[in-house]
Amino acid sequence: MARSAKRRILEGALELLRVEGGGAITLDAAAKQVGLTKPGLMYHFPTKEALMLAVVGHVADRWEKLLLDRLGRPLETASPHQRIRAYVEVSLDVPFDSADFAIYADVHYRTALTDTWVRRMEPWLDLPGTLPETVRARLTAARLLADGYWIAAATGVLPVPGRDREQLRAVADDLMAEERS
């Protein structure tokens, strides 16, 4: 029961970000959103920092599940190209919204949240120093293309028209090609 209550609170906190279009999550607002008292919420998350860390972890869990599903193999067995490809495909194919962006943006301003996000996403995006510089640059460019796409889609600020998504995918595929003739 406690697990489902925690999940309900985390989903409620994300819904607050959707409704508010970003902004801050307070313990009072999160409790009200899910029909709990503030002390009831604080039983699960005693501080705002604990709630925010859990929300970031919850969003990172979603990303990791999407990435692993797309990858189709254990992360440890994937090449840098396969990891970046999974990231690009998820970023271009999965609908993200203002809550996703708010969490991503908020982590920049709080060290503990940044550390959580980096620890969870770095295994997907880290490129070994042994890769040739041109390969590293191409994989990084594909990743940044994907970042720009999902951020524009999630925020609604200058979104890319849907008809252009497949062409972007083709550009990313070209950047991620493992062999060049």
Name the percent of the chain lying above pLDDT 90. Answer: 64
Provide the residue ranges of all domains of the chain, joining segments of one domain with +.
Answer: 53-176
136 within 8 A of 127, measured Cβ to Cβ: yes
Q: How far apart are the first and last CA of the chain?
A: 57
What CATH class does 53-176 carry?
mainly alpha
Q: How far apart are CA 44 and CA 38, in angstroms?
A: 10
List Cβ neighbours of 91 (8 Å cut-off, separation of 6 or more).
Answer: 146, 147, 149, 150
* Angle separating helix axes 80-93 and 48-71, nearest 10 degrees: 110
Neighbours of 104 (CB within 10 A): 20
Tens digit of pLDDT for each residue in 38-66? 999 999 999 998 998 999 899 999 999 99
Q: How far apart are CA 120 and CA 123, in angstroms?
A: 7
Tens digit of pLDDT for each residue in 94-144? 998 888 888 877 766 678 788 888 899 999 999 999 999 999 999 999 999
Q: What is the mean pLDDT of residues 12-35?
A: 84
What is the dihedral angle through the alpha carbons of 21, 24, 30, 34, rounded to the nearest 10 degrees? 10
- Note the pLDDT of residue 2: 66
pTM assigned to the model: 0.88
Q: Is the pLDDT of residue 181 over 50?
A: no
**Which secondary structure element, helix H or strand E, spans residue 139, and what is its range?**
helix 133-155
Which of the residue ranges 15-24, 73-82, 112-121, 159-168 would you say has the lowest mean pLDDT? 15-24
Tens digit of pLDDT for each residue in 146-170? 999 999 998 888 889 988 999 999 9
